[in-house]
């Protein structure tokens, strides 16, 4: 009798197992990165405050689907035209079938491509379109400061083309994930072949925190446990490893890559993915203010003589852009306000003025040599400005600031 019972139980167990197993096997993992990843929406179930503020950050908008709400340039008549030359123009068109950039040569349609993906949403936006399994950049971008449609960075003035391929390297810094076409051998000369369905938009939670499915499952099954399991705590990492997390995307793109950074997790050493930029780290003059925040900060006395890291000043879960008083408070956490003589200038200047301008004098916004609108002359006020992270004394900048207040 007993024997029979066990047999029935085993049989039912086996049936149940195979049903569950087959279901699991036939259904794709919830996240294109595989079973170890949960996706940001899963994190939002327990970390809803963080998730809701994160939706307003630059990391979230790093890649988003193109819609009338995510494209900030105008589709209104007369504002939706970019003239390359008297005979060549691009019109941004809103049709029932979607949003398009259409190239008119001597008044005739020469090429028309859909806005599929928006890349960026702070200083500017570039747009990508799918052609089969390949990704290309559209010729016209939107520049926020100018509030205008202008030629995309990297384009030659006067030439209109739709074939600037977007490589996985762009996506390594601007998205959660994208995979190559399975079995496809990537050729250096041709556009990369992507698996379209694998794209994870945004620099998402798991780009900074590493795979979190096991953490999410554990905390779901153990709601009484209030401490975190199976997720790396930033505070447990030494400073060099914490900097490496941001350095995946904020330490430039000049040194040779050893392997794609999509697999990078907090705790990993970035030098195993990308050779460090030693020569440039010493010579800050050669570092562009855009994208090299790690090396620039590392060269500052503030960094050398303290334990600061990026999170000392930035809470990456929130949009703190242009919140100058917030950032100044960070300076004053270390440079005591009580001692106004931290700047000798404080004797001659209104203390209130000094206090509200640390950033302008010591982390000035300087023109980027990398993100440039090809139609804007370098050195003009239309340059795209980025705050340098080499915190220092800039006599030229101080003169400018003083000239401005003495006006």
Q: Mark the segment that binds ligand HEC (CB under 6 A) among 73-81, 109-117, 192-200, 229-237.
A: 229-237
Positions 125 through 144 that interact with ligand HEC (CB under 6 A): 126, 137
In the complex with ligand HEC, which residue's Cβ is closer, 10 or 315? Answer: 315
Q: Mark the segment that binds ligand HEC (CB under 6 A) among 26-34, 108-116, 275-283, 392-400.
A: 392-400
Asked if 199 is part of the footprint of ligand HEC (rule: CB under 6 A), the reply reads no
Asked if 250 is part of the footprint of ligand HEC (rule: CB under 6 A), the reply reads yes
Q: Mark the segment that binds ligand HEC (CB under 6 A) among 28-36, 67-75, 185-193, 381-389.
A: 381-389
Q: Which residues of 182-193 are buried (b: 16+ CB within 10 A; e: fewer)?
A: eeeeeeeeebbb
Asked if 62 is part of the footprint of ligand HEC (rule: CB under 6 A), the reply reads yes
Q: Which of 91, 328, 376, 382 touches ligand HEC (CB under 6 A)?
A: 328
Distance (Å, rounded) from C-alpha 27 to C-alpha 226? 32
Asked if 59 is part of the footprint of ligand HEC (rule: CB under 6 A), the reply reads yes
Asked if 214 is part of the footprint of ligand HEC (rule: CB under 6 A), the reply reads no
The separation between CA 52 and the C-alpha centre of its own chain, rounded to angstroms, equals 17
User: CB–CB of 121/139 below 8 Å?
Assistant: no
Rounded to the nearest 10°, the torsion over CA 300, 394, 362, 387 is -90
Q: Which of 80, 181, 312, 375 touches ligand HEC (CB under 6 A)?
A: 312
The set of residues, in sequence order, having a beta carbon less than 8 Å from that of 351 and lying 6+ positions away, is 340
User: CB–CB of 178/199 below 8 Å?
Assistant: yes
- Other C-beta atoms closer than 10 Å to the C-beta of 110 total 13
Positions 27 through 46 that interact with ligand HEC (CB under 6 A): 38, 40, 42-43, 45-46
Asked if 174 is part of the footprint of ligand HEC (rule: CB under 6 A), the reply reads yes
Least separation in angstroms between CB 109 and ligand HEC: 26
Distance (Å, rounded) from C-alpha 367 to C-alpha 289? 8
The separation between CA 323 and the C-alpha centre of its own chain, rounded to angstroms, equals 19
Distance (Å, rounded) from C-alpha 181 to C-alpha 121? 28
Q: Mark the segment that binds ligand HEC (CB under 6 A) among 21-29, 84-92, 187-195, 300-308.
A: 300-308
Q: Mark the segment that binds ligand HEC (CB under 6 A) among 25-33, 93-101, 178-186, 299-307.
A: 299-307
User: CB–CB of 133/197 below 8 Å?
Assistant: no
């Amino acid at each position: 009798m007993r024997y029979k019972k066990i047999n029935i139980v085993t049989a039912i167990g086996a049936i149940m197992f195979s049903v569950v197993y087959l279901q699991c096997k036939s259904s794709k993992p919830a996240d294109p990165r595989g079973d170890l990843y949960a996706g940001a929406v899963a994190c939002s179930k327990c970390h809803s405050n963080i998730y809701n503020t994160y939706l307003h950050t630059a990391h979230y908008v790093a890649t988003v689907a193109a819609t009338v709400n995510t494209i900030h340039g105008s589709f209104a008549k007369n504002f939706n035209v970019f003239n390359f030359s008297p005979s060549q123009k691009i019109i941004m068109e809103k049709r029932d079938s979607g949003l398009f950039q259409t190239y008119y040569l001597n008044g005739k349609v020469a090429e028309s491509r859909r806005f599929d993906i928006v890349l960026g949403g702070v200083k500017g936006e570039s747009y990508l379109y799918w052609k089969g399994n390949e990704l290309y950049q559209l010729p016209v971008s939107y520049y926020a400061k100018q509030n205008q449609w202008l030629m995309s960075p990297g384009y030659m003035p006067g030439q209109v083309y739709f074939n600037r391929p977007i490589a996985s390297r762009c996506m390594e810094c601007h998205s959660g994930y994208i995979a190559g076409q399975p079995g496809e051998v990537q050729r250096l000369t041709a556009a990369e072949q992507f698996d379209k369905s694998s794209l994870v938009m945004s620099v998402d939670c798991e780009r900074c925190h590493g795979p979190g499915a096991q953490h999410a499952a554990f905390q779901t099954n153990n709601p009484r446990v209030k401490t975190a399991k199976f997720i790396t705590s930033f505070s447990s990492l030494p400073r060099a490893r914490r900097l490496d997390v941001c350095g995946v995307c904020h330490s430039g793109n000049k040194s040779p890559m050893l392997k794609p950074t999509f697999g990078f997790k907090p705790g990993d050493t970035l030098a195993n993915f990308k050779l460090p930029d030693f020569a440039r780290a010493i010579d800050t003059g050669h570092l562009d203010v855009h994208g090299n925040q790690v090396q620039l900060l590392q060269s500052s006395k503030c960094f050398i003589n303290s334990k600061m890291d990026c999170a000392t000043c930035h809470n990456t879960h929130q949009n703190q852009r242009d919140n100058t008083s917030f950032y100044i408070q960070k300076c004053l956490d270390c440079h005591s306000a009580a001692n106004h003589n931290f700047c000798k200038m404080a004797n001659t200047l209104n203390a209130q003025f000094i206090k509200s301008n640390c950033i302008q004098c010591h982390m000035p916004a300087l023109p980027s040599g990398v993100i440039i609108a090809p139609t804007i002359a370098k050195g003009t006020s239309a340059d795209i400005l980025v705050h340098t992270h080499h915190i220092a004394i800039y006599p030229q900048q101080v003169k400018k600031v003083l000239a401005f207040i003495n006006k």
